[in-house]
């Protein structure tokens, strides 16, 4: 049983949190050692990013992309609880967002070339064994954000959400050599989970 690195991506409001919790429980039940994590991280860089996302600190798109890259390097390399350390200890790591988010969100302003090159050339950044994109139409994401939050972060404005969704599609086309699966997440949580689990079981 070898440890795998699984990334779940999706628009804000796509139901990632619920699906990740169910996936972690299902894999643990099957005897896997599982660790769930997310980006932005809980490290210092993650804090800087969250301030920028909330609009408390102004950052240029390139600066924000650099912070996410730095946060991701820390996330891969932290000797205590970084992704590589956990994989080496035999944990299957499930990560809520990873470089696909940088390519989709920061890529909207910066273009994909620089960001793809930065991630691919950086020796610290590891490639996931599987990325699953939970795909919801813009209206579903928008109404779930509306129902769930007091205020919107910078990427949660209605007009931005559709652009992000289109950008994710461009990202997946550009990364055609990676193992990426798109699941229709506008269905019931049970239906979505059944597809998610079957994709994950293929690589375990």
How many CB atoms within 10 Å of residue 112?
A: 18
Residue 80 CA neighbour count, 13 Å, CB half:
1
Interface with ligand TYD (CB under 6 A), residue total 14
For residue 21 the two structure tokens come to 């919790």
Binding window for ligand TYD (CB under 6 A); candidates: 28-36, 74-82, 96-104, 186-194: 96-104
Tokens 């994401």: give the residue.
141
Taking the CA atoms of the chain, what radius of gyration do you get in angstroms? 16
CB of 31 to ligand TYD, least distance (A): 28
Q: Which residue is nearest to ligand TYD (CB)?
A: 105
Tokens 């779930």: give the residue.
144
Binding window for ligand TYD (CB under 6 A); candidates: 73-81, 98-106, 116-124, 167-175: 98-106
For residue 34 the two structure tokens come to 């599982």
Residues 104-143 that bind ligand TYD (CB under 6 A): 105-106
Nearer to ligand TYD, 50 or 84 (CB): 50
37 close to 75: Cβ distance less than 8 angstroms:
yes
Return residues touching ligand TYD (CB under 6 A): 12, 16, 39-40, 53, 68, 96-97, 101-102, 105-106, 153, 155
């Amino acid at each position: 049983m070898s440890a795998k690195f699984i990334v779940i991506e999706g628009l804000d409001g796509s139901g990632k949190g619920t699906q990740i919790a169910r996936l972690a429980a299902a894999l643990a039940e099957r005897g896997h050692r599982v660790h769930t994590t997310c980006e932005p991280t809980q490290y210092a860089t993650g804090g800087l990013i969250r301030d920028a996302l909330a609009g408390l600190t102004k950052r240029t798109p390139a600066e924000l992309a650099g912070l996410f890259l730095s946060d991701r390097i820390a996330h891969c390399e932290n000797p205590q609880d970084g992704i590589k350390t956990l994989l080496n200890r035999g944990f299957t790591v499930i990560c809520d967002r990873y470089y696909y988010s940088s390519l989709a969100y920061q890529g909207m302003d910066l273009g994909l070339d620089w960001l793809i090159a930065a991630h691919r050339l950086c020796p610290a950044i590891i490639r996931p064994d599987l990325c699953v994109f939970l795909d919801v139409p813009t209206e579903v994401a928008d109404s779930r954000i509306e129902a769930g939050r007091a205020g919107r972060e910078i990427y949660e404005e209605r007009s931005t959400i559709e652009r992000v969704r289109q950008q994710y599609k461009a990202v997946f086309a550009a990364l055609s050599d990676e193992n990426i699966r798109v699941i229709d997440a506008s269905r019931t949580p049970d239906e979505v989970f059944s597809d998610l689990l079957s994709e994950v079981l293929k690589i375990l």
